[in-house]
Amino acid sequence: MDDPLLTTPAGKPRARALSIPFDGAPGLRNAITDVAGVSVGSVTLISGDGPLITGRGPVRTGVTAILPRPPADALVPVFAGFHSQNGNGEMTGAHMIAEVGAFTLPITITNTHACGIARDATIGWINRVQPGGLDDAWGLPVAAETYDGFLNDINGGHVTAAHVEAAIDAATDGPIEEGSVGGGTGMIAFAFKAGSGTASRRVRHKAGDFIVGAFVQANFGKRRNLTVRGRRLGEAFAEPALVERTPKRDKSSIIGVIATDAPLLPHQLARLARRAPLGVALTGGYAYHSSGDIFLAFSTANRDALTAGFGATAEAAFLADSSLDPFFDAVIEATEEAILNALVANADMTGRDGNFVPAIPRDRLAALFA
């Protein structure tokens, strides 16, 4: 059996397969799904070649779904916090998270112009799987986006409600695919092919052993700033070049989702979300003007406190703020590795109008850390 720390379910190499060294101890799968109850699904849409014809393609896009709880518990809230490092992007539901520190329903991540479809389709999904579940409540799903218009017919409406529901239905709590899959299908980082990536870390604490998992949709960064484990590689990796046959589109972003089973309160989860950009910075991401760098963190703990009925007194366990440093380490480490996994588990891609994005040269990268 392939080692999930080294390869994806499809057999693509992950960053550790190139002998790149990382800090911290990963979970069993080195994925956000190492947090019990969390699952991830995706739908990938790739079709057509040649000149852009809006509505027909070429298509290089998709949607990713992250379920904080199993489908049967999709309406059970999770404590959460978020952080916008640079706000040229969208994450729906953020206002309620800022207000009450919690959310329900699956998280979806897709391309910029499909964000609304993903949000609305999530409500359609819950109405299908739990009829009547929203009769006396409301749904404010979290849907986030990054821009894939360099490779994809982003105005063509190719992501449908059926695709979103299929991604949610496909969610698994095992190893998950990385690279050009799901919402990450058409994404680019440091002018190399990027997209979806994940990683996790174990945190040992007096209160027990916990997991912190990260998932990123990586679509950011300038080639000159590329950094891998402290090595500035921009100049050395100037080739192969991205080939632009259409006007340059400086639209870049990263969405990061942090999950943990540690009992943390909303303000503590917001503190975790604020550390994710430090992991981005370790790879050379500097939150430039057009970048939407938005991060969400949630905890699967304290279920009983979040399901207390009207008028009840709820009790929640939480770790002391003074003991959060190891969790900050874990967020930064897992975010950095998730981004590098998104780059390594990838291949060259040609999209609309012949626009070409090369994969990062894995042989050259491996040679640096041999």
Q: Among all chains, which residue has been given the structure tokens 């604020």?
A: 274
252 has catalytic annotation: no
Q: Which of 39, 42, 180, 291 is catalytic?
A: 291
- Alpha-carbon span 30 to 28, nearest angstrom: 6
42 has catalytic annotation: no
Residue 47 CA to chain centroid, in angstroms?
23
- Alpha-carbon span 297 to 142, nearest angstrom: 12
Query: What are 330's two structure tokens?
Result: 């874990």
253 φ, ψ (degrees, to nearest 5): -160, 170
First-to-last C-alpha distance (Å) of the chain: 24
* Cβ neighbours of residue 193 closer than 8 Å, sequence gap 6 or more: 179, 180, 187, 343, 346, 347, 348, 349, 357, 358, 359, 360
Q: Which of 180, 196, 252, 253 is catalytic?
A: 253
For residue 267, CA distances in Å to 229, 277, 361 come to 30, 17, 41
| Axis crossing angle, helix 325-344 with helix 266-282, rounded to the nearest 10 | 50
- 350, burial (CB in 10 Å: exposed 0-12, middle 13-18, buried 19+): middle
Query: What are 208's two structure tokens?
Result: 């027990």
Task: Categorise residue 167: left if φ over 0, alpha if ψ from -120 to 50, beta otherwise.
Answer: alpha
> Which residue spans within the chain are E strands per DSSP?
39-47, 59-67, 78-87, 102-103, 107-111, 142-146, 188-189, 192-193, 196-205, 208-219, 227-228, 231-232, 253-260, 292-299, 349-350, 356-357
323 φ, ψ (degrees, to nearest 5): -105, 15
- Alpha-carbon span 199 to 95, nearest angstrom: 27
293 has catalytic annotation: yes
SS3 202: strand
Q: Which of 173, 252, 293, 299 is catalytic?
A: 293
Q: Could you tell me if 332 and 104 are in contact, meaning their C-beta atoms sit under 8 angstroms apart?
A: no
Residues annotated as catalytic (active site), given as ranges? 253, 291, 293
